Structure 1
């Protein structure tokens, strides 16, 4: 039987050392996006005893819930793991911050709140790669709809009454409307819904908010589950490794409250994300044997794909100075302006403080050879040199564009046997000729949109990267200088067919060669989705919960 949660909390406070945290039906490692969904679904059956372990704390930090508060949550040890990438040759040797949520709700507590599924072809490709038609778009669409509470109500594409609230943004900007008009003049149509399987077009993003307040997975899924007696929730607990015996995962070892704990379960589910999950596997001796040996870990199960296949969306931030336009740069340039912004949010939960990091989106093709959109735009009525720095002192907007289907592949490797040591994250951005060609085409397309008549009255002038970059080769170099992560790492424990030696899990998310262990997070994606990745992780967790109950 599991230890009573009140006893556990009391023991943490007293600093007592408990050798056993109990026996459970399921242990979930990670209280982030996927973990909250799993905890909710698995505890709906009162016969299941479930333990949820989260390294971070409760989601009670005020800036989590105010949408613009992501600025205070990213690179903050209270809510972020504070990862950095290794210096990246494709970015001119730069190292990037690599935010991952370390708090209940995980990255859904610090992300951009954009509701995006991707394209139907993404999931059809998954089904082909793993040999399982249940991953096709037609089969996963009901899982998206199951958890959804869409502002427009129930339809063939959307759900109503689910846990995951989807709303329209509570603001608009003339400069963004002009960009949308310009995109239409360039051949990118105006649409209202990015989430029907084909997201070609331009519109304001829909967001995971409820009346202007962030709606994270801790609120959506965990709040109800936490009231059930069959869920044991432990926060501030650091998982050291899995317990493996003769090819079977028996549970986990973790540290919390100054004590070292052991918990047992008939099935363990890793939901620690595309960075945390391969790190835990490698610390447990599951991964590429040579890399483990270099880190001082004995290989228990040589599984080459663990930590490989890292994919991410690299955003290329183009900045355009404008004239006669209302932008956040000028609106927030005085204390009076800031006071007005704060008052609007306090009274109505609207205005700039309700802003997602990006407000306007567009999906387009980098060239005629693309059968579906392979570029995504995140457009903002503001500009700055880099994340965390002040806004520019002139009116401007930013048009960030990313390659939705990069061919570059990176990896995640543990640096040592110390579970507290951050892993080495090597994205390998722009490491293929194809990605460099797409980057150059993306920058050229952005220039074409900005040159359209709809934006002419604002007299846009390119500040970043600069008009002196002209040839495709020069633009590819420019991409490396302005590119930065848009926080979508996936694929580091990909699912695949039996004959795919690089696959880590099968189509039912079971780890190859280890019984009693599944993975249910972004790491299982064989290829990255054509859009923002948070809501696809919710779908993966929904599917994993169903598989656990078969």
Structure 2
């Protein structure tokens, strides 16, 4: 048993954990230990943006989770990769930088106890975190650790997608992270000088120069330790599995869980914080009966709308071994070329029907027809749009299979459980077909590859989604903030019913935001870091945001 002691122990060196390690150690009087179950992030396949399919599709840097058979998805076990490496999922994700819509945060702030999570409260922290290559303004940052660049859209297919969106009647937006999310335009990415800019690069590496931060990799935390006899229970450290030995490490101030929407509720339950009936059935002593732990699981489901391309200009040309070698060499020597982009350089946000106040469908465009995780190689020149609903109404859960911390938890998303989710997905496919039918794609558009043109009815489209829908890899909301009986944390990430314990990651979101989750997770970690340090919050923003003036009667 170890006698080590730190002020703060952070469990998980991912998108939130690296932010907290940096911000908390800005105070030289504070000693911080950052624990990561996975290895370091030295792989070329992590740092080359175009190579992200490699860490995404294997278990070396990835928990490699799969769901239980999904009852509304033909009982498929759905792939759920989560980062297990320095930088966490920010080291294996697609590097898309999207903040979500302002009204997402207005919705968060409507909950009791979350009044300071409005868009006006959150926008200053998005700006604090960011340095945008194009420069800052009222919406964008220019001096933060997280470098963000915008796609160059050199391939003509990127601009064809943007132009087709306008021809279909939607607006152009120059910055979907600025005043106006709704519309079609270029997309931002967490890439800097041709390299992935994970939170390990942005936040952790600068902090490693400080003597008050220790980082340990391949350190699996088995459970949070609580002070015997304390009421309410007080977290005083963590137990770390070290081969056949368990090491106890003490935290004099707080233990902070940053494991994400799967691992944070898992660790809470292993530690006795969760649904008491579930814990007792597994022989786990109940420390705090919180029925919401692991509940409210939300994710974005998406599907690919794929077409063959009549001109040989897609990324299929880059898939042969010689081309890959040339791309890799240019990236290694110059940091430029096709290796220096995530290839999601244009996209869009639209509303599925009149009456929807802000976009509920998102697009990522890719000038190639391929599986997102690289699990199936491209076999022809093609292009695709990823489309999916932004605010699903289906709810799942994370539960334990056993009290063994080395056994993966049980994950069930319940994708497509509600008619509303099915309705939005049908609209997504039909509206995407309309966009690809525009004049801008006439010179490029070949036959429909997936879904085939003959799939037209609701039943046929539903069957296609059940067979081909995939996770957009945005699990969230399993330790949600709030003050009601199913809330797990308060507005500062403190776990209800105990002291000395916080959760800070995408699991605390009350509802999933309308977009990718990396940027919002970094924002909330920045905001909660100030709360932990007792610092006054940043001044609220008065920047306005766009809502379609005719949203009640017009779909576009």
TM norm structure 2? 0.92
**1 CA distance for matches of 2:399 and 2:78?**
17
CA contact (8 A) 1:170 1:351 kept: no
CA contact (8 A) 1:171 1:352 kept: no
Structure 1 residue 130: Cα displacement? 3.7
1:46 and 2:28 aligned = yes
Query: Per the alignment, do residues 271 and 383 of structure 1 end up closer, same or farther by CA in structure 2, a change over 3 Å counting?
Result: same
Query: Per the alignment, do residues 323 and 545 of structure 1 end up closer, same or farther by CA in structure 2, a change over 3 Å counting?
Result: same
**2 CA distance for matches of 1:516 and 1:357?**
43
Unaligned runs of 5+ in 1: 1-18
Query: Per the alignment, do residues 106 and 437 of structure 1 end up closer, same or farther by CA in structure 2, a change over 3 Å counting?
Result: same
CA contact (8 A) 1:450 1:460 kept: no
**2 CA distance for matches of 1:250 and 1:336?**
55
Query: Per the alignment, do residues 333 and 26 of structure 1 end up closer, same or farther by CA in structure 2, a change over 3 Å counting?
Result: closer
CA contact (8 A) 1:178 1:454 kept: yes
Aligned equivalent of 2:293, options 281, 295, 306: 306
**2 CA distance for matches of 1:62 and 1:39?**
24
Residue 443 of structure 2 aligns to a residue whose secondary structure is: helix
Structure 1 residue 21: Cα displacement? 4.9
Residue 95 of structure 1 aligns to a residue whose secondary structure is: strand
1:452 and 2:434 aligned = no
**2 CA distance for matches of 1:166 and 1:44?**
23
1:31 and 2:13 aligned = yes
**Paired residue for 1:290?**
277
**Paired residue for 1:137?**
119
1:535 and 2:535 aligned = no
Residue 68 of structure 2 aligns to a residue whose secondary structure is: coil
**Paired residue for 1:548?**
532
CA contact (8 A) 1:237 1:257 kept: no
Residue 158 of structure 2 aligns to a residue whose secondary structure is: helix
1:366 and 2:366 aligned = no
**Paired residue for 1:5?**
none
**2 CA distance for matches of 1:121 and 1:459?**
36
Structure 1 residue 357: Cα displacement? 5.3
Structure 1 residue 295: Cα displacement? 3.1
**2 CA distance for matches of 1:103 and 1:128?**
35
Q: How does 1:165-180 map to 2 (within 5 A)?
A: 165-170=147-152, 172-180=154-162
**2 CA distance for matches of 1:241 and 1:263?**
11
**Paired residue for 1:474?**
460
**Paired residue for 1:12?**
none
Query: Per the alignment, do residues 151 and 440 of structure 1 end up closer, same or farther by CA in structure 2, a change over 3 Å counting?
Result: same
**1 CA distance for matches of 2:147 and 2:74?**
40
Query: Per the alignment, do residues 193 and 21 of structure 1 end up closer, same or farther by CA in structure 2, a change over 3 Å counting?
Result: farther
Q: Deviations over 1:21-71 (max 9, x none)?
A: 512211111111101000000000011111111111111112110012211
**Paired residue for 1:182?**
164
Structure 1 residue 346: Cα displacement? 3.9
**Paired residue for 1:8?**
none
**Paired residue for 2:306?**
319
**Paired residue for 2:61?**
79
Which deviates the most, 380-389 or 185-194? 380-389
**1 CA distance for matches of 2:179 and 2:500?**
34
**Paired residue for 1:428?**
414
Residue 476 of structure 1 aligns to a residue whose secondary structure is: helix
Query: Per the alignment, do residues 388 and 456 of structure 1 end up closer, same or farther by CA in structure 2, a change over 3 Å counting?
Result: same
Structure 1 residue 522: Cα displacement? 0.2
CA contact (8 A) 2:114 2:481 kept: no
Which deviates the most, 167-176 or 312-321? 167-176
User: Which structure shows the higher helix fraction?
Assistant: 1
Query: Per the alignment, do residues 148 and 415 of structure 1 end up closer, same or farther by CA in structure 2, a change over 3 Å counting?
Result: same
1:92 and 2:85 aligned = no
Structure 1 residue 458: Cα displacement? 2.0
Query: Per the alignment, do residues 310 and 390 of structure 1 end up closer, same or farther by CA in structure 2, a change over 3 Å counting?
Result: closer
Query: Per the alignment, do residues 264 and 125 of structure 1 end up closer, same or farther by CA in structure 2, a change over 3 Å counting?
Result: same
Structure 1 residue 240: Cα displacement? 0.4
Query: Per the alignment, do residues 233 and 340 of structure 1 end up closer, same or farther by CA in structure 2, a change over 3 Å counting?
Result: closer
Q: How does 1:213-252 map to 2 (within 5 A)?
A: 213-245=195-227, 246=230, 247-252=233-238
**Paired residue for 1:442?**
428
Structure 1 residue 390: Cα displacement? 4.3
TM norm structure 1? 0.93
Q: Deviations over 1:167-188 (max 9, x none)?
A: 1235521122112111111122
**2 CA distance for matches of 1:258 and 1:165?**
41
Structure 1 residue 450: Cα displacement? 0.8
**Paired residue for 2:540?**
none
Structure 1 residue 472: Cα displacement? 2.0
**Paired residue for 2:546?**
none
Unaligned runs of 5+ in 2: 535-556
CA contact (8 A) 2:19 2:199 kept: yes
**2 CA distance for matches of 1:147 and 1:206?**
15
Residue 460 of structure 1 aligns to a residue whose secondary structure is: strand
**Paired residue for 1:522?**
506
**Paired residue for 2:361?**
375
**1 CA distance for matches of 2:154 and 2:367?**
10
